[in-house]
Amino acid sequence: MILLLYGYMRLRVLLAVLAIFLPLTVATAQFDATQFGGTPELAISLSPSNPSPGDLVTASIDDYAGGVYGSEITWRYNNEIVPGAINQRQIQFVAGVAGSNTVVEATLSLPIGGTRTLQETVTPVYMDIIIEPQTRVPDWYAGRALPSLGSQINATVLLNDGSFIDPQSVVYTWRVNNKVIEGGPMRGGNQVAFPTPRGGSVVVSVTATRPTGETIASRAITVGIVLPELSFYEKHALYGMKSSPITASTPLIGSILTLQAEPFFLDTRVYNNPDIAEWEINSVTTDNGSNNPYEITLRSSGGNSSTNVNFHVRSLQQILQGSEESIAINF
């Protein structure tokens, strides 16, 4: 009977203890890091996490649990002790050449005795994002086209770890202004095309992972968006376009002048099929009389005269896809 009573008392005490501590345990579990992928362990974190060759990299000890407290820290870089870094929580170094493996180690001599070694391997990879806007620049122009609102941008990413990585072995996730495009990650999708969104710039980012999920590199770039710009060039029937645009101060020789309007950075689709391509001579709309809407031939009336020439090209569907400019021609 006494034993039975004793057992009953033990059960009540146990239930009381459970009643007090169980809610606390559950509440604690809500913030348990295991919910987010693992117990917070000591580790080395890198910034940037996927460096390019030559990047300045910061290696830090992640110590959310306070496990480093009181430890002596010794840093090693490719097995060589880093001088002056004793007991530092972070070190900086320059990433090596593409594809090289650099081992960063932090050895902790714990105050309770024993050591613990943290290790991270850095393999720098070049991630080049090449932007090729599909806007108009003349054939002789050595520079690159720039994106204007609504025009198409072709983007290519090239990965190089000492040699170019076969795109087919990589899964690419592209984002434009933080929105994933192409429906999600694409294996072998190192080239995409997307329309230029509204705004002064667009952020293009891409993450390259192996099919197993391991991140190779990740990068974001900001691409400025411009408005089309119109310049006038003198066109010689034999030699083609002159290398400098015509300005009001440009001396013109002869009584006949062929002008070429060059709308830099106009969407190529608009350039090839403009809704408006209009010349005005002294504020009078004029037929340019040519198959080429961007070209007009002028003839001097004799003497020193100034003629105001205006050209306007525009899309009526995308109103910002256009440009208008005037120039005074002094024969």
Q: Which residues bind other proteins (CB under 8 A)?
A: 53-54, 98, 126, 128-132, 138-146, 154, 156, 158, 160, 163-164, 190-191, 221, 223-224, 226, 231, 233, 235-240, 242-245, 258, 264, 281-282, 286-292, 295, 297-302, 305, 307
Nearer to other proteins, 223 or 320 (CB): 223
Is residue 159 helix, strand or coil? strand
Within 10 angstroms of residue 318's Cβ, the number of other Cβ atoms is: 17
Q: In whole angstroms, how close is the CB of 235 to other proteins at the nearest point?
A: 7
Nearer to other proteins, 85 or 155 (CB): 155
What are the beta bridge partners of residue 176?
179, 204
Taking the C-alpha atoms of residue 74 and residue 70, their distance in angstroms, rounded to an integer, is 13
Residue 191: both structure tokens together: 């080239």
Nearer to other proteins, 89 or 242 (CB): 242
Nearer to other proteins, 8 or 164 (CB): 164
Residue 158: both structure tokens together: 């090239």
Note the Cα 323 to chain centre separation in Å. 28
Nearer to other proteins, 73 or 309 (CB): 309
Q: In whole angstroms, how close is the CB of 269 to other proteins at the nearest point?
A: 14
Nearer to other proteins, 148 or 207 (CB): 148
Sheet containing 306-314: order of strands? 284-286, 276-281, 306-314, 322-330
Q: In whole angstroms, how close is the CB of 187 to other proteins at the nearest point?
A: 17
Q: In whole angstroms, how close is the CB of 242 to other proteins at the nearest point?
A: 8
Q: In whole angstroms, how close is the CB of 293 to other proteins at the nearest point?
A: 10
Taking the C-alpha atoms of residue 207 and residue 209, their distance in angstroms, rounded to an integer, is 6
Taking the C-alpha atoms of residue 239 and residue 320, their distance in angstroms, rounded to an integer, is 33
Q: In whole angstroms, how close is the CB of 146 to other proteins at the nearest point?
A: 6
**What is 72-105 written as a DSSP string?**
EEEEEETTEE-TT-TT-SEEEEE--STT--EEEE
Which residues, in sequence order, are CB contacts of 143 under 8 Å at separation 6+?
137
Q: In whole angstroms, how close is the CB of 202 to other proteins at the nearest point?
A: 12
Q: In whole angstroms, how close is the CB of 166 to other proteins at the nearest point?
A: 11
Nearer to other proteins, 247 or 317 (CB): 247
Residue 99: both structure tokens together: 């594809």
Q: What backbone phi and psi angles, to 5 degrees, belong to 65?
A: -95, 5
Nearer to other proteins, 5 or 237 (CB): 237
* Residue 274 near residue 313, CB atoms below 8 Å: yes
Q: In whole angstroms, how close is the CB of 255 to other proteins at the nearest point?
A: 9
CB-side exposure of 324: number of CA atoms within 13 Å?
A: 11
Within 10 angstroms of residue 40's Cβ, the number of other Cβ atoms is: 15
Nearer to other proteins, 235 or 269 (CB): 235
- Our CA dihedral for 41, 46, 50, 51, rounded to 10 degrees, sits at -160
